[in-house]
Structure 1
Amino acid sequence: MAATIDELIALVEQNRDAVVGDLFPVREAAPRLIEASVYHPVICLILQGSKETTSHAGSVRLGRGDMLVVSHDTPVTARITGVPYLALILPIDLERVRTLEQSLTSADAGQAASVLQATVAGSAILETLARLLAIRPKTPEDSVLTPLLLTELHFHLLRSPAGAMLRRLVSPSSHESRIARVAALIRRDYARVHRLADLAREAGMGQSAFHHHFKAVTGTTPLQFQKDIRLSEALRLLEQGAVSVTEAGLSVGYESPAQFSRDFSRRFGRPPRRVLQGIAAE
């Protein structure tokens, strides 16, 4: 019999904050807005509560039993809307995805795909997660069975309705795979000036085709993609209270403090100095 959401909740509560094979729980006791996030490829399964996640590719609303698959590095805004909130998070291992290529030849490559893909978690995924959560960390079972179960989980994910974009990534020559590679480059070197011609060359495309495919995959342009990552990182730095507004802008690649303040205000609805003032008032 397939595992249920309630059984997964019970297993999480038994082990509380234990991490099994990079699978870990996230809890929230109150609704809140999470502005400065850049999601790496990840699976998020909602066990309790609800949330809304928004990127340039669109918005998805998730509740109990829903699974979100994020296939590429992408800036997002997340809002916890229903509490108590409990979710399971698992980073997607893209190398493990590629090893499964030969097993996915019958997958429907024509299915619509998005960088944010949501679906109800299937019974195979729930059952595999239950077996993972039942393993005690740092035991012989952990060292032997966890890698096998993680491979099984990725296999079920790729064959699920939410795995469409990941299936495209299996092919190194696909447009989606090449755009994902460039998006990861921008994410790593967000403070650098990236010329469109250089990014297109990295993707092995002409500039016009690159611009078109980048927007089709991410929902935005390469310039706006980089700007969102810069501003999310700047907000994170300001919320830590360790840098000034000018230092935050310079550290993420802005040469003009005035331009940084304008872009920040448009993105977050308040000037960066208000973030520091809020921290000082706490």
Structure 2
Amino acid sequence: MNLAELAERAARQLPPPDGSGSQYVRPLPKLGVLRHHRPTSFEAAVYEPVVILVLQGRKETVLGAESYPMGAGECLLVSHDLPVIARVEQAPYLALLFDVDLDMLRSLYDEIAESASSTTEPRPLSVHACEASLVDALARYVALAGTRTDAAVLGPLIAREIHYRLATAAMGGMLRMLARHDSHASAIARAIAQLRHDFRTSIAIPELARSVGMSPSSFHKHFKAITALSPLQFQKELRLLEARRLLRAGAASVSDAAFDVGYESATQFSREYTRKFGAPPKQDMPRSSSTPAV
């Protein structure tokens, strides 16, 4: 199946356009289909482990100081939970998103071990031309949507194949490291999981390092190499993103959002929020219901 045919099949999973700027559905476990009808400005988010195959349009993702543009036929592979900013540069934009399952990846360790000696530098986020074998596996997985029995029987088999294709591809070096429980990549993944669970509380970084079996200096080095942030900077990103979610949902005032995510000072929160998002937190609060429609 070529890319145009896969794009047509993926688009059939989406509802008819409703006038909104984007649509997202999950027709199968681990699989998402995303469409943007218009270019977007940069938005901050935490990408969880995923492979994104662009079927139409162009998107740019930024991690730290590095930019990763991608277009039709290219894959973005993310190995860890990473704070990024991203925008759709060219629309209509259509993409498949397939979640990377760490347990499934580790179940393949014996099969992928032979590829672990690849000279390609392992990277937590990378963009590559999507290999034909991976496109084929994703296409067969998408074809299972709406076929309840086939999806139940064949879905797990194809999902396992997709993980195998990812881990043995040129871009899969970091996934091969994650397949090992005793690797630095796995230790940092465990630390990130702890930070995401406990981001509201003060965290002693030396204790966090010891909890994943690393010295503080080694922990800082490898954490920043993967996330482009220090552990405390990463925690701050999580706090600000959660505060923005609360404000946009109308679930909290500015001060309540600040304290809910772990800040002790609303003033400091507002300052860091404005520095991160380019506008004060009040700008992200929904308008009062008493505001007349125009």
Q: State the TM-score bracket (shorter-chain normalisation).
A: over 0.9
Greater mean alpha carbon deviation, residues 133-142 or residues 24-33: 133-142
CA RMSD of aligned residues (A): 1.7
Q: Please tell me whether residue 44 in structure 1 is matched to residue 42 in structure 2.
A: no
Q: Please tell me whether residue 26 in structure 1 is matched to residue 24 in structure 2.
A: no
Letter in 2 for 1:144: V
Asked if 1 retains the 8 angstrom alpha-carbon contact of 2:83 and 2:227, the reply is: no
**Who is 1:105 aligned against?**
113
Q: Distance in 2 between matches of 1:210 and 1:162?
A: 24
What's the CA shift string for 1:99-156, capped at 9, x where partnerless? 0000112213542122211111110011111111112435221110010000001100
Greater share of helix: 1
**TM-score, reference length from structure 1:** 0.94
**Who is 1:8 aligned against?**
6
Residue in structure 2 matching 1:183, options 182, 192, 206: 192
Residue in structure 2 matching 1:266, options 258, 267, 275: 275
**Who is 1:128 aligned against?**
137
Residue in structure 2 matching 1:35, options 27, 31, 43: 43
**Who is 2:17 aligned against?**
none
Give % identity. 40
Asked if 2 retains the 8 angstrom alpha-carbon contact of 1:33 and 1:79, the reply is: yes
Query: For 2:45, what is the secondary structure of its paired residue?
Result: strand
Q: Distance in 2 between matches of 1:40 and 1:196?
A: 22
Query: For 2:28, what is the secondary structure of its paired residue?
Result: coil
**Who is 1:150 aligned against?**
159
Letter in 1 for 2:47: Y
Query: For 1:78, what is the secondary structure of its paired residue?
Result: strand
Q: Distance in 1 between matches of 2:13 and 2:283?
A: 40
Offset at residue 36 of structure 1 (A): 3.6
Greater mean alpha carbon deviation, residues 146-155 or residues 192-201: 192-201
Unpaired runs of 5+ in structure 2?
15-24
**TM-score, reference length from structure 2:** 0.90
**Who is 1:85 aligned against?**
93
Asked if 1 retains the 8 angstrom alpha-carbon contact of 2:113 and 2:176, the reply is: no
Q: Distance in 2 between matches of 1:125 and 1:40?
A: 20
Query: For 1:43, what is the secondary structure of its paired residue?
Result: strand
Asked if 2 retains the 8 angstrom alpha-carbon contact of 1:7 and 1:130, the reply is: no
Q: Distance in 2 between matches of 1:57 and 1:165?
A: 20
Offset at residue 258 of structure 1 (A): 0.8
Offset at residue 175 of structure 1 (A): 1.0
Unpaired runs of 5+ in structure 1?
none
Query: For 1:255, what is the secondary structure of its paired residue?
Result: coil
Query: For 1:193, what is the secondary structure of its paired residue?
Result: coil
